Amino acid sequence: MPDLLARDRARTVIVGAGIVGVAAAYHLSDLGESDVVVLEQGPLFETGGSTSHAPGIIFQTNPSRTMCRIAQDSVALYDALQLDGERVWYGVGGLEVATTPERMQELKRRQGFARSWGIEGTELLTPAEAAERSPLLDPSTILGAYWVPTDGAGKGVRIVEALARAASERGVTFEGGVTVTGFDVRDGRVHAVETDRGRVECERVLCCAGIWGPSVAALVGVPVPLVAVQHQLVWTEPIPELASLEGDTWAQHPVVRHQDLSLYMRQRDDHYGVGNYRHEPLVTAQADIRRPGDGMQPSLMPFTPEHFDLAEAETARMFPALAGTMRPSDPTRSLNGMFSFTPDAGSIVGESAAVRGFWLCEAVWVTHAAGMARQVAEWITEGEPSYDLAEADANRFYPFQTSPAYVRARGEQQYREVYDIVHPLQQPSSPRDIRLTPFHERQRALGAEFFTGAGWERPQWYEVNRELVGGVTHEWARRSGWAARGWSPIVGAEHVATRARVGVFDITPFGKFDIDGPDALPFLERVFANRIDRPVGSIVYTAALTHRGGIRLDLTIARKGEELFRLVTGGGSGQHDVAWLRRQLREGERVRITERTGSLFALGLWGPRARDVLMAVTDVDLSNDAFPYMTARYLSIGEVSPVWAQRISYAGELGWELYGQFAMGARAWDLLLEAGREHGIVAAGGGAFDSLRLEKGYRLWGQDIDTERDPLSAGLGFAVRWDKDFQGKQALEAVRDRGPAQRLACLTFDDPRVVVMGKEPILHDGRLVSYVTSAAFGYTVRRGIAYGYLPVELAAEGTAVEVEYFGVRHAATVTNDPLWDPKGERLKA
């Protein structure tokens, strides 16, 4: 009979004492939540999990603002830690080298991210300057490098021990050699953890089981979409050139990333570590991942030398001193170590929507461990993390995204792309055609260029419209380089045709759900900041706020009946929006939330001729008096009935959103296009949609607004009703009373040829003041448009700023928002 556990009760049980679980215990106890037990199947603290093998390298720069700040937070904590008087973090600097002109450009873009997200002191270096900092690097092999002075490497297991020691002092208990085998879940809530050494009663579980996460969470029926992929790491034989290093030799040279060949190198004492992602992904099935035992540590697999040939040759070319040292005689110095890859490369964090009290913090690198652990600890103790964590939200996945086939295919692709130059509009080649709207065949026939989002195939533009570009001599018809990727001048033609005549947009992927029941109205009034109690047939745009006043989601609500409401939100955010709304329900509240996304088609019919087109296929009076802006009702489109028509438009034009039974969508499409022919209708895609919305100043959740932005700073004060109670009101009142410090401002570029992509730094008087949240070309206003939060004193019309794009500063001017139809007359035409 194994020893019983030291404790049989704790408020929080953490599964896994890798760097993530221990950092979470550290932060929970730091926030006053010390009634925590950490259970670990392996020995403490070299558990045999991924943390035991990581070379501990941290490159903080990341296109994601959230992940970049989380990396900076991790570094700050690691840097402040000590274990037995010794440091555990070495901020030796990071060099990302370029061997192609394209990578050199990419490094400029990365420096832009770093500046936008607050990393200081970055530089672009010549080969000689890079070699000065990394003495074994042959400068003739590179074109240049990007330098981050605060990057570096940490001693993973020592960091864990230092964190655990601090947490223990605050009352946290750590137990090694205990395997979690099950959970006691009753009434949808966790009550206890079962282990091979007894049971621990608890209120919540935080699963930090790394690559074992899917198996642990499966014990409560919660899917964790990650795969364990093997990654190669070789610790070389001693290198004579390093014999003379003095002092603390654990890390003195900068860490180096050679992303063109998916490699990294770091000096450790008298040798180097060489990491290799340049091989076909080697996935280990969950069932084949071992538990700790006598043999090889369970997160390791036998080294596969054949996968290391290219890495060896390239490393020897770039670091000649390493030639001949990369096949060490000690077999433990060459390893295939496993860690987690998810379908979208994001972490998996938060409380499961399915089981209350079951929290996850999975697929987190050493780079992000401490920072992410702080976010999850805040989320647990304060109800919200301080950063917007949508991209890591455990509930963001649609069910198909947790299927083994999808998780594996996407996880492998993320491994392949880990160091690739990924354009923001780059589309995966597979898996595709997962969710098809009823218009798909017709769109294909029109030459749709499909982009994928939330599994849906969505036309970005249609080749059939190329003839509309013909003869156009505007600047916008020409683009080159980065901005030309994922773009066609047809986008501009579709935009212009929509403004001039009418466009039909496939908006089926929008998140659609119905909320009904006797308590539906009070529920919505409580959760949303705008007035929901309006006559049946009204539509309202509104945001739901966090208790800190941040925007948790924004959407439109149409009142279909006294107790029935239709909510429409973005396709990308639909899943976590609905999960969050379900979480707001109170015990006994008579409210039902029904997902309708996959059962309804949706079309946007927008443009000044939209009424003419719709009139031709329906008997309903569409006049302004009978069917005003922001109202909705049922109608028929030919035989397609019923169709729920909402008079609202993301294009900022007269028009309707039309929702009907999925199976009848194709018929509706045919009828509308046929009726629209004499009015010059075009099928228009996502590219035109984006630029139409930006000209109209519509905010996009996840870019312009998120939980870190409040409606007042975002210019959405019109959608807040102060005369009612709603979640987050108190915090918002405080913002109102002191006045927002920043405001979302609209910028236009002075040179009409300039187009940026988003996330670029914004400067004023040469000083960094913000970053671009959304950007597009405005084909009607004939200017590049960018939005960004500026200090209020700069957010006034006419302020001159600069936007830095690939290292070049472009002049831009703050302009009144929105650029298009500020009075909304076209919407109400």
Catalytic sites, residue numbers: 231, 264, 554
Please tell me whether residue 180 binds ligand FAD under the rule CB under 6 A: yes
Binding to ligand FAD, residues 219-238 (CB under 6 A): 231, 233
Please tell me whether residue 299 binds ligand FAD under the rule CB under 6 A: yes
Determine the interface stretch with ligand FAD among 42-50, 237-245, 395-403, 631-639 (rule: CB under 6 A). Answer: 42-50
Residue 137 or 157: the one with the smaller Cβ distance to ligand FAD is: 157
656/650 Cα distance (integer angstroms)? 10
Residue 299 or 460: the one with the smaller Cβ distance to ligand FAD is: 299
As given in the structure block, the two tokens for residue 798 are: 């006419």
Entry field: residues in the chain = 829
Please tell me whether residue 61 binds ligand FAD under the rule CB under 6 A: no
* Cβ neighbours, 10 Å, residue 335: 21
Determine the interface stretch with ligand FAD among 119-127, 211-219, 550-558, 804-812 (rule: CB under 6 A). Answer: 211-219
In the complex, residue closest to ligand FAD by CB: 18
CA dihedral 765, 770, 774, 777 (to 10 degrees): 10
- Helices marked H in 519-594: 520-527, 574-584
With tokens 């403490």, the residue in question is: 44
Amino acid at 698: Y
Please tell me whether residue 56 binds ligand FAD under the rule CB under 6 A: yes
- Using the rule CB under 6 A, which residue among 12, 51, 99, 748 binds ligand FAD? 51
Q: What is the DSSP string of 718-738?
A: GG--TTS--TTHHHHHHHHHH
Q: What is the DSSP string of 595-651?
A: E-TTTEEEEEEESTTHHHHHHTT--S--STTTS-TTBEEEEEETTEEEEEEE---TT
Which helix (DSSP H) or strand (DSSP E) does residue 444 occupy? helix 440-445
**Residue 741 CB contacts under 8 Å (≥ 6 apart), including other chains:** 713, 791, 792
Please tell me whether residue 571 binds ligand FAD under the rule CB under 6 A: no
- Using the rule CB under 6 A, which residue among 183, 365, 656, 779 binds ligand FAD? 365
Residue 339 or 487: the one with the smaller Cβ distance to ligand FAD is: 339
Least distance in angstroms from the C-beta of 169 to ligand FAD: 21
**Residue 753 CB contacts under 8 Å (≥ 6 apart), including other chains:** 475, 784
Please tell me whether residue 179 binds ligand FAD under the rule CB under 6 A: yes
Determine the interface stretch with ligand FAD among 33-41, 447-455, 560-568, 658-666 (rule: CB under 6 A). Answer: 33-41
Least distance in angstroms from the C-beta of 420 to ligand FAD: 17
Residue 53 or 103: the one with the smaller Cβ distance to ligand FAD is: 53
Please tell me whether residue 276 binds ligand FAD under the rule CB under 6 A: no
Least distance in angstroms from the C-beta of 253 to ligand FAD: 15
126/519 Cα distance (integer angstroms)? 65
Residue 50 or 99: the one with the smaller Cβ distance to ligand FAD is: 50
Please tell me whether residue 704 binds ligand FAD under the rule CB under 6 A: no
* Cβ neighbours, 10 Å, residue 352: 24
Is there a contact between 241 and 321 (Cβ–Cβ < 8 Å)? yes
Do the bridges between strand 227-235 and strand 334-341 make them parallel or antiparallel, or are there none, so unpaired? antiparallel
Amino acid at 282: L
Amino acid at 66: T
Least distance in angstroms from the C-beta of 60 to ligand FAD: 10
Determine the interface stretch with ligand FAD among 15-23, 164-172, 411-419, 743-751 (rule: CB under 6 A). Answer: 15-23
Is there a contact between 395 and 580 (Cβ–Cβ < 8 Å)? yes
738/743 Cα distance (integer angstroms)? 14
Residue 38 or 545: the one with the smaller Cβ distance to ligand FAD is: 38
- Using the rule CB under 6 A, which residue among 212, 359, 398, 482 binds ligand FAD? 212
- Using the rule CB under 6 A, which residue among 12, 29, 34, 41 binds ligand FAD? 41
800/804 Cα distance (integer angstroms)? 13
**Residue 426 CB contacts under 8 Å (≥ 6 apart), including other chains:** 485, 486
Please tell me whether residue 60 binds ligand FAD under the rule CB under 6 A: no
Give the residue among 15, 348, 31, 64 at the shortest CA–CA distance from 180.
15
- Using the rule CB under 6 A, which residue among 33, 40, 577, 657 binds ligand FAD? 40
Number of residues binding to ligand FAD, judged by CB under 6 A: 40
Determine the interface stretch with ligand FAD among 17-25, 107-115, 720-728, 799-807 (rule: CB under 6 A). Answer: 17-25
Least distance in angstroms from the C-beta of 303 to ligand FAD: 11
Least distance in angstroms from the C-beta of 336 to ligand FAD: 8
DSSP 374: H
Please tell me whether residue 17 binds ligand FAD under the rule CB under 6 A: yes
- Residue 663, phi then psi, degrees to nearest 5: -65, -20
CA-to-CA separations, 478 to 338, 695, 779, 825, in angstroms, rounded: 46, 20, 12, 31
Please tell me whether residue 337 binds ligand FAD under the rule CB under 6 A: yes
Please tell me whether residue 96 binds ligand FAD under the rule CB under 6 A: no
Where does this chain bind ligand FAD (CB under 6 A)? 15-21, 39-42, 47-51, 53-58, 179-180, 208-212, 216, 231, 233, 299, 337-339, 364-367
